[in-house]
A and B are shown apart, each in its own frame.
Chain A
Amino acid sequence: MTQPHARATTVSAIALAVAGALVLSSCSTPQAEAQPGLTDDSIKIGTHQPLTGPAAASYAPISAATAAYFDYVNAEGGINGRTIDYIVKDDGYNPANTQTVVRELVLEDEVFAILGGLGTPTHSSVLDFLNDNGVPDLFVSSGSSAWNQPEKYPGTFGFQADYVTEGMVLGQYISEEFDGKKVCLFGQDDEFGTDMQAGLEKVLGADGLAEVQTYSVSNQDVAAQIVALQSAGCEVNVLATITGFTALAIGTAAQLKYFPQWVSSSSGADYGPLSGYLGEAAPLLLEGFVSDNYLPSATEDDNKWIELFKQVNDEYNDGADFTGSVVYGMAMGYLFAEALLAAGEQPTREGLIAAVQSGELKGSGLVPLGFSEDNHSGYLGAGITVVHDGVQAAIDKRWVRDGDKVVVYDKPPVELLSGGIPS
């Protein structure tokens, strides 16, 4: 019975080739436009976010908040008469998917720029592609230092205080408040953990950390590491953890009757989600919880930015839970609006990049931004927050990085002007 089989194979092959070519070329090759994604009254930007998968719970609200902020801006007339069309694509925190969705955004949707791509491993995989294609890659949502390479990646800019800086700020606070205590680190088994460690050691010294333990996102059992920290007698534990694992660490330690001082990076310190994970015991377990932040805290009701963001959240975000992620998302939206305004009436991709590099952008944070021609990193430092009675509030301590040390920063934080829309 080989004859029909061979014939079928031949027919298959030919049908395959024809069908394949037809289907794959069903959309005509688009003309390369001078400024893709830009019309007289709108501008199209895109982002890749973990909307599904293990990172989703902590970070999915960010893009929703940014979208809400843009809705607010658009309702008030947009920037220079253009509405902002913000496309969010899911990569599930998987670099392989990031490759695909970013190519979709740039080659299919033809976005003008990419805003706030989230995740270190995910975004690293698209740096070459974005810069090769001249796409402005603004305000990456990650604390890696990889976004600050102006020579290699001229179109890429950071946003957060990078992990090394965070480590230095936290280290400084620890050396002042917890002098003499044994300090240890529990960090993610990648750049997040190693950069925080580097920052801490810059301030506390090469032997400042008594014990370092790591975890991997794919494995939720951290009992062994916590036991190790407990056995080493750690009194102050710095956490370079994403929110879920901050909760795991604190919760596991509590079960072991181990209650050290917890000091966390901003990436995993959002009080709202944390208390969701920890349940009823949250206020007790998180009492005295220290973290750093370069943006105002979500629970600071008397901060004008927070007031505005809450209003926008209620009106344009279906009154979603108001957490640090929402503040983050809206602050990023505001920064983009500032950059777009600075790029002028007829923005170009190069013009947008130049606008960011000019250093004129103020942002909405507690510390200044570092953008210049030689520096593509975002916030230069951070302040400290402490949790008391279930409220996470900033205390009056801020530092910015100066080379290998941090210096006190005491200028007032950026003021809210013109209803939160740059003009």
Chain B
Amino acid sequence: MTPIQRWGATAGILVLAIAATFVLDPYRNYLLAMTAAYVCATSGLSLLVGRTGQLSLGHAAFMAAGAYAFALTSNALAEADAPGPVHLLVPFLAAVVVASVVGLIVGVAGARLHGPYLAGLTLALVIALPAIASTFGGLFGGDAGLYVSVERRPDWLSTVIATEQWQAWVGLIVAAIVFGALAQLVRSPSAIRMQAVRDDESAARLSGIDPVRVRVGMFGISAAAAGLGGGVLAYVTQAVSPGAYSLTFSLFLLVAVVIGGVGTLAGAVWGAIVIVLVPEITTAITEALPLPAELSQRLDGNLAIVVFGVILVVVMLAAPQGIHGAVAALTGRLRRRRPRTAPPAPTT
């Protein structure tokens, strides 16, 4: 596929998704918007972990960086009475810039090393997030966070669609841009460089590829993608607080990536859907069971965490390619049923 075709395919999926928002009720459109935000983060993370072998345990922190940048910019623009499109678009720009910068800093510190160092560093980052929000409380609003004044659904649409549908549109469009850009990356020379570094670092270096640059670059890109996801979350929920970007949430993102199929973009989408749906399902289960109130409260929330942990372990041990891998295996098996063409000539 050429780049134009790839963008076309992404646009096609976007149109389908937007059409879907017309048949969904407001609550499900809200969930769709959240899923879109998660897709931004998981697609970057999936490539980061799968293609460059860098484990980011604190990816929510980059979403937070984007979200706070979005919030501050959007609030400032609201005060300055900025025109509609500016108020809608500029904060997203701020989100991606700030998140990239933070990502590059962290990447430079940790990406040069092998082993658990980067993982530990990102862990320290996400745990320090509440502290950062509180220390600069005047700016970031501490634990309570900030209220975000956003550019709402335009008035001329107010009779046609609900607020949640509009929010889903914004989220889907941003996610499509991120997804499309990363889809281009995956078929570009950069991807080949990443592959080279992954397969044999010394050989790659001999070929003139700088492994550090490749790693740090991917780290920055994944942070930028996550930042846009944070921007969508800030837009839809109209709030940003450290509690929304916790360690638990970071781990959920990792779960999403692994379950979906690490290293693939389709896997990132599967994973995002899973981490939105599973808590809904566990909540429905805990509400349906006739349990004493206190136990029911304890199950709520915690059950989802346990389920994810189990799925993570099972997938890693038994099906490391995740959902996407399973789908690929299925289609591979289907393909093999057709008569084979002549086998390729053997190479020397």
Closest to A8 in B: B328
Interface membership of B120, Cβ < 8 A = no
| Chain A, 90-133, CB within 8 A of any chain B CB | 90, 92-96, 99-100, 103-104, 107-108, 120-121, 124-125, 128, 132
Question: Hey, which chain B residues are within 8 Å of A8, CB to CB?
Answer: 266, 324, 327-328, 331-332
Tell whether, in the assembled complex, residue B32 and residue A190 are in contact, meaning their CB atoms are under 8 Å apart. no
Interface size on A, residues (CB 8 A): 52
| Chain B, 133-165, CB within 8 A of any chain A CB | 134, 137, 141-145, 147, 163
Interface membership of B13, Cβ < 8 A = yes
Residue of B16, B131, B265, B297 most packed against chain A (CB within 10 A): B297
Interface residues of A (CB under 8 A from B): 3-9, 11-13, 15-17, 20-21, 23-25, 27, 29-30, 51-52, 60, 64, 67, 88, 90, 92-96, 99-100, 103-104, 107-108, 120-121, 124-125, 128, 132, 189-191, 216-219
Interface residues of B (CB under 8 A from A): 1, 9, 13, 16-17, 20, 23-28, 30-32, 34, 130-131, 134, 137, 141-145, 147, 163, 233, 237-239, 241-244, 246, 264-266, 269-270, 273, 277, 293-294, 297-298, 300-302, 324, 327-328, 331-332, 335
- Shortest distance from the beta carbon of A326 to any chain B beta carbon, whole Å: 14
Query: A96–B243 Cα gap in the complex (Å)?
Result: 7
> Given A17-B17, A24-B24, A190-B142, does the pair A12, B300 have CB atoms closer than 8 Å?
no
> Given A15-B327, A30-B25, does the pair A216, B134 have CB atoms closer than 8 Å?
yes
Interface of B is mostly: helix
Tell whether, in the assembled complex, residue A5 and residue B134 are in contact, meaning their CB atoms are under 8 Å apart. no
Tell whether, in the assembled complex, residue B163 and residue A132 are in contact, meaning their CB atoms are under 8 Å apart. yes
State which of B243, B297, B328 has its C-beta within 8 Å of the C-beta of A95: B243
Closest to B265 in A: A9
Question: Hey, which chain A residues are within 8 Å of B32, CB to CB?
Answer: 24
The 5 nearest A-B residue pairs measured at CB: A96-B244, A121-B144, A8-B328, A107-B27, A218-B130
Tell whether, in the assembled complex, residue B297 and residue A60 are in contact, meaning their CB atoms are under 8 Å apart. yes
Interface of A is mostly: helix
Query: A107–B167 Cα gap in the complex (Å)?
Result: 15
Closest to B137 in A: A189
Closest to B32 in A: A24
Question: Hey, which chain B residues are within 8 Å of A218, CB to CB?
Answer: 130-131, 134, 143, 242
Question: Hey, which chain B residues are within 8 Å of A217, CB to CB?
Answer: 143
Query: A107–B26 Cα gap in the complex (Å)?
Result: 7
Question: Hey, which chain A residues are within 8 Å of B301, CB to CB?
Answer: 52, 90, 92
